[in-house]
Amino acid sequence: MVFTEDCIVIKFLRQNKGYSARRLIKEFPLKIWKNGGLKKLLKKIDDKSTTGLPGNGRRRTAGTDENVEGVADGECL
């Protein structure tokens, strides 16, 4: 991939300054980046930046006090 060495710079500029693919191509004219390739990379960066936020993923209900007491009493849930 063409972006391997520049990925850190692209990620920083996207997350902190909101640079688009066209803006990156304009700011770095000597790079041989393609608009479509940059758009794919920026989409990956955007998707990864939303993971890990509170509320994402599976709920943690198995270890509630009610469930623990029910298991200890031999009840089926």
The ranges assigned to domains in the chain are: 1-50
Q: State mean pLDDT over 50-74.
A: 66
So what's the pLDDT on residue 77? 47
So what's the pLDDT on residue 68? 72
Q: pTM (2 decimals)? A: 0.60
Cα distance between residue 18 and residue 46, in whole Å:
10
pLDDT tens per residue, range 11-25: 999 999 999 999 999
Cα distance between residue 47 and residue 64, in whole Å:
31
Cα distance between residue 48 and residue 14, in whole Å:
12
Average pLDDT, rounded, for the chain = 80
